[in-house]
C-alpha cells in the first residue's frame, strides 16, 4: 500500500486539522484476490477504530486523538474507487505457453520469461472465462511506458513472426 497524495483543509501552523485525506494505491501480485484484500483492509481499519487508544502510539495523555469535552474521537475510514483490477498470472503449463516458448526460441533465438506487475483487465477477464491467456512483448522492455516510448518495426515484425509460428503450431494439433 503506497500513499501518494495527502490533502487537508488549511489552517495555522499551530493547528492540527480536523481531517486529513490520504490517497494511494495497492499493487498486488496476481496471486491475491483484490476483493479479499479490500475486505481485509476494511477489517484492519475497523479493528484500529475499535481499539484506537491501545493500537496507536501517542505522545502523552493529551495526544490520544480524543477530545472528551467535545465528544470527539479520531477515526479512520477507507474507501475504494471503481478502478479495482486483479492481476494476471499466465499458466506456465498450458499448451499456449509451450507454443509461445517454442515460437519465441525459433524466431528470436532465446526465451526469457519474466514477471512484471501491472493490470490488464481484459486479459484477466478472458482468463477467468477459461481461455489460455499468455502475454508477450517483443522489443525493448526499457522503453515500455517510458517518457519517450517507442518501438522498432523490426521488433514488431519479429513479434508477428512469433505469432504466425504459434498459429501454425496450434493448427497442426487440430
The tens digit of pLDDT for each residue in 56-110 reads 888 887 777 888 888 888 889 999 987 788 888 889 999 999 999 999 999 999 9
Task: Give the model's confidence band at 41: pLDDT under 50 very low, under 70 low, under 90 confident, else very high.
Answer: very high
Give tens-digit pLDDT for 12-38. Answer: 888 878 889 999 888 888 888 889 999
User: Per-residue b/e over 127-160, b at no fewer than 16 CB within 10 Å?
Assistant: beeeeebbeeebbeeeeeeeeeeeeeeeeeeebe
Rg (CA), the chain: 25
Closest of 138, 131, 136 to residue 95, by C-alpha: 131
Residue 118 has pLDDT above 70, yes or no: no
Looking only at the bridges linking them, the beta strands covering 72-73 and 66-67 are antiparallel
Per domain, the residue ranges of the chain are 2-73, 95-173
Closest of 137, 48, 122, 112 to residue 86, by C-alpha: 122
The structure's pTM equals 0.65
What residues pair up with 6 in beta bridges, in sequence order? 22
Higher pLDDT, 58 or 116: 58
**pLDDT score recorded for residue 36:** 93
**pLDDT score recorded for residue 139:** 85
Select from 1.10.150, 1.20.58, 3.30.980, 1.10.287 the CATH code of 95-173.
1.10.150
**pLDDT score recorded for residue 25:** 84
What residues pair up with 3 in beta bridges, in sequence order? 24
Amino acid at each position: 500500500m503506497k500513499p501518494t497524495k495527502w490533502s487537508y483543509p488549511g489552517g495555522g501552523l499551530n493547528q492540527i486539522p480536523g481531517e486529513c485525506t490520504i490517497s494511494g494505491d495497492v499493487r498486488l501480485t496476481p496471486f491475491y484476490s483484490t476483493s479479499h484484500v479490500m475486505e481485509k483492509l476494511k477489517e484492519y481499519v475497523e479493528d484500529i477504530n475499535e481499539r484506537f487508544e491501545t493500537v496507536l502510539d501517542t505522545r502523552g495523555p493529551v495526544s490520544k486523538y480524543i477530545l472528551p469535552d467535545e465528544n470527539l474521537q479520531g477515526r479512520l475510514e477507507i474507501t475504494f474507487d471503481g478502478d479495482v483490477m486483479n492481476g494476471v498470472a499466465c499458466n506456465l503449463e498450458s499448451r499456449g505457453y509451450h507454443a509461445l516458448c517454442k515460437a519465441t526460441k525459433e524466431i528470436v533465438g532465446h526465451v526469457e520469461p519474466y514477471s512484471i506487475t501491472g493490470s490488464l483487465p481484459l486479459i484477466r477477464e478472458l482468463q477467468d472465462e477459461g481461455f489460455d491467456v499468455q502475454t508477450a512483448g517483443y522489443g525493448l522492455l526499457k522503453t515500455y511506458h517510458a517518457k519517450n516510448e517507442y518501438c522498432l518495426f523490426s521488433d514488431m515484425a519479429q513479434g508477428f513472426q512469433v505469432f504466425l509460428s504459434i498459429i501454425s503450431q496450434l493448427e497442426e494439433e487440430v
